[in-house]
C-alpha cells in the first residue's frame, strides 16, 4: 500500500489558475510557431502582464475562502455559530458526536473542546442522561421584552413602598 500523504484537492480558484496558465502557454507556443520560434517581446509582455494580476487575484480570493487560512477568531466564531444553530435545531441539546457529524471540519475531540469552552463561558451547561452519556444544554430563549421590565420610576416607587412597610414593621416591633 503506497501512502504518500493526504490527497491534495484543487478548488475552483486553483483550477482557474491552472487553466489560465495552460491557455497562456498554448498561446505562447502557437505564437512562437507563427514567428519561426521567436515570440515578439510585446506579445510576451502582454501575455505575462495579463496573467500575473489574474493569478494574484485568484490566489487572494482562494486564500480568503479557504477555511484553513481563515483568521483564528473568524474560525472560532464560525464554529460557535454552527454549534448554536445545531442546538437550536435540536431543542437546545447537543453532544460532541452530533457536532462532529454536522459541523464541517470538526472532530469529536475538537467538538468536546468547543462545547467545554462554551460551557465555561456560561453559554450552555453540561449534563448527562441516565446511561451516563454527556450532552450540553443551551438556553436559547430570548431575553424578556422591555415592556415586561418595570420602569425606573416604578422600581423606585416599589422600593419606597417596601421601605415604608419595613419601617412600619420595625415601628410596631419597637412599640411592642
**For residue 141, what pLDDT is reported?**
74
Give the helix ranges, DSSP H, for 66-151. 72-89, 96-102, 108-120
Task: For residue 144, tell me if it sits in a domain.
Answer: no
Check: CB of residue 156 under 8 Å from CB of residue 164.
no
Among 29, 47, 69, which residue terminates a domain? Answer: 69
18 vs 66: CA distance, rounded Å: 17
Task: For residue 59, tell me if it sits in a domain.
Answer: yes
pLDDT digits (tens, 9 = 90+) for 107-143: 999 999 999 999 998 999 999 999 999 999 998 776 6
Same domain, yes or no: 76 and 121: yes
The closest alpha carbon to 138, from 83, 98, 78, belongs to: 83
Task: For residue 123, tell me if it sits in a domain.
Answer: yes
Same domain, yes or no: 39 and 97: no
Same domain, yes or no: 85 and 54: no
**For residue 1, what pLDDT is reported?**
47
Residue 101: CATH number of its domain: 1.10.10.10
Among 37, 54, 69, which residue terminates a domain? Answer: 69
Domain count along the chain: 2
Check: CB of residue 82 under 8 Å from CB of residue 102.
yes
**For residue 88, what pLDDT is reported?**
93
**For residue 96, what pLDDT is reported?**
95
Same domain, yes or no: 89 and 57: no
* Range with top average pLDDT, 19-33, 54-68, 123-137, 161-175: 123-137
Largest CA distance in the chain: 122
Share of the chain above pLDDT 70, in %: 44
Same domain, yes or no: 56 and 93: no
What is the average pLDDT value for the chain, to the nearest integer? 74
Q: Is the pLDDT of residue 61 over 60?
A: yes
In DSSP terms, which residues pair with 42 in a beta bridge?
none
pLDDT digits (tens, 9 = 90+) for 160-169: 665 555 555 5
Same domain, yes or no: 56 and 78: no
**For residue 154, what pLDDT is reported?**
72
22 vs 19: CA distance, rounded Å: 5
Same domain, yes or no: 61 and 90: no
Same domain, yes or no: 39 and 55: yes
**For residue 17, what pLDDT is reported?**
67
Share of the chain above pLDDT 90, in %: 31
**For residue 81, what pLDDT is reported?**
93
Rounded to two decimals, what is the model's pTM? 0.44
Structural domain containing residue 121? 72-138
pLDDT digits (tens, 9 = 90+) for 88-102: 999 999 999 999 999
Amino acid at each position: 500500500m503506497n501512502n504518500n500523504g493526504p490527497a491534495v484537492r484543487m478548488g475552483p480558484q486553483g483550477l482557474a489558475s491552472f487553466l489560465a496558465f495552460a491557455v497562456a502557454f498554448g498561446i505562447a507556443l502557437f505564437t512562437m510557431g507563427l514567428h519561426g520560434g521567436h515570440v515578439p517581446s510585446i506579445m510576451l509582455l502582454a501575455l505575462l502582464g495579463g496573467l500575473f494580476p489574474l493569478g494574484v487575484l485568484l490566489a487572494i480570493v482562494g486564500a480568503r475562502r479557504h477555511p484553513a487560512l481563515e483568521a483564528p477568531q473568524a474560525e472560532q466564531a464560525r464554529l460557535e455559530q454552527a454549534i448554536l444553530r445545531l442546538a437550536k435545531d435540536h431543542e437546545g441539546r447537543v453532544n460532541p458526536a452530533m457536532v462532529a457529524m454536522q459541523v464541517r471540519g470538526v472532530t469529536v475531540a475538537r467538538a468536546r473542546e468547543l462545547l467545554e469552552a462554551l460551557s465555561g463561558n456560561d453559554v450552555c451547561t453540561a449534563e448527562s442522561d441516565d446511561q451516563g452519556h454527556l450532552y450540553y444544554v443551551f438556553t436559547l430563549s430570548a431575553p424578556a421584552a422591555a415592556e415586561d421590565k418595570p420602569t425606573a420610576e416604578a422600581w423606585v416607587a416599589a422600593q419606597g413602598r417596601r421601605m415604608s412597610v419595613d419601617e412600619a414593621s420595625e415601628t410596631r416591633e419597637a412599640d411592642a
